[in-house]
Amino acid sequence: MTGAQGQDRESLTTMFQRLIANYGPITLQHYMGEANARYYAGKDPLGSGGDFITAPEISQMFGELIGLWLADIWIRAGRDEAVHYVELGPGRGTLAKDALRAMKRYGLEPQVHFVESSTTLKDIQIAAVPGARLHADLSTLPMDGPLLVVGNEFLDALPVRQLVRIADGWRERMVDVQDGRFRPVAGTKPMDAAIPPALKDSPEGTLIETCPGAAAVVYELAGRLVHQGGAALLIDYGHDAPRTGSTLQALKAHQRVDPFTMPGEADLTCHVDFAALANVALSHDCRHLGTVTQGRFLRDLGIEARAQALAKVAPQHEAALHLAKDRLIEEGQMGALFKVMGLASPDWPDGASF
């Protein structure tokens, strides 16, 4: 750990402790939001030397097939030249680089926009894709021309709110300090009015998780797609049917750690509720093309053939290529847990694989 990171950790832990000592427990949403903002601001967490690895960092095939999907739907929608490529939380810019290379083969050369909050990652992204425009959020994205939007492992980093059923009714899940350590506790304020009627009488201990930030992003995206045209692929680990229980987890150096130690030093994530997000898009008159597993999506787009083609060019990498492909599509690996949700303007055609 560098001295600077040590100081950061100290200050976020101290800040939370002071806040809680003075004003009482903070919401889990507050805790997760501040912890992740601190986490992403100061470091590049991706890759084998980092805390976690993502699909585009596993293999170039991932970004190439996303690019192929976008080029295919763009061609069938009529090849509007004024199109923009938008990526949410582009990490090291690897997915964008691979997707743009694949799109170029089909004559698609969009203006590139990255929505990113991390100063460290912004520099790496611009080095990977010179000329990309950076945005702090979706509000400054261009208002003209269709948008081709991609977000891989972006929504899972946005802070969640948890509501828990105790003997007296529903409460917000808060973070308190007990014996000098952060601990999740039930708040004191009744939250029954926030619970859907079907879940109100759930047994004690039931927990409901919602992600207001993810819903806001999808709401804004849906509106843009309806008004400007275009399509979006949102890829993340998550579930396609409503469910209860906490999915909060923390990763550090590729290991699961307690989310309530070291705020700002481990990556905090939650599963994405794709069913809820599809409803948000539909409520804005956007098309929900479907939500499928990553394994099915990549198989339908031809990952097996792509792996074979790459192995032909570089036979010395054949075994590694097949291992990477299996990691992306096999059920026991990323193939089933990760989902791909497709959204599109009502005027745009269906997308491949949905």
Q: Please give the residue ranges that form the binding site for ligand SAH (CB under 6 A).
A: 36, 40, 46, 54, 56-57, 89-91, 95, 115-118, 121, 152-154, 157
Q: Which is nearer to ligand SAH, 89 or 342 (CB)?
A: 89
Please, what is the minimum distance in Å from the beta carbon of residue 91 to ligand SAH?
Answer: 3
3-state secondary structure 76-142: HHCCCCCCEEEEECCCCCHHHHHHHHHHHCCCCCCEEEEECCCHHHHHHHHHHCCCCEEECCHHHCC
Smallest gap from residue 121 Cβ to ligand SAH (A): 5
32 or 77: CB nearest ligand SAH? 32
**Minimum gap (Å) between residue 347 Cβ and ligand SAH:** 28
Strand partners, 267: 251
Those residues whose C-beta lies under 8 Å from the C-beta of residue 304, and which sit 6 or more positions away, are 325
Residue 151 CB, nearest distance to ligand SAH (Å)? 7
CA distances from 33 to 29, 151, 156, 157, 211 (A): 6, 18, 12, 9, 11
3-state secondary structure of 248: coil
Pick the closer one to ligand SAH by CB: 161 or 287.
Answer: 161
CB of 99 to ligand SAH, least distance (A): 11
With CB atoms as reference, the residue minimizing the distance to ligand SAH is 89
Nearer to ligand SAH, 50 or 302 (CB): 50
Q: Which is nearer to ligand SAH, 237 or 348 (CB)?
A: 237
Sign of CA dihedral 141, 145, 146, 150: negative
Which residue do the tokens 């007990």 mark? 178
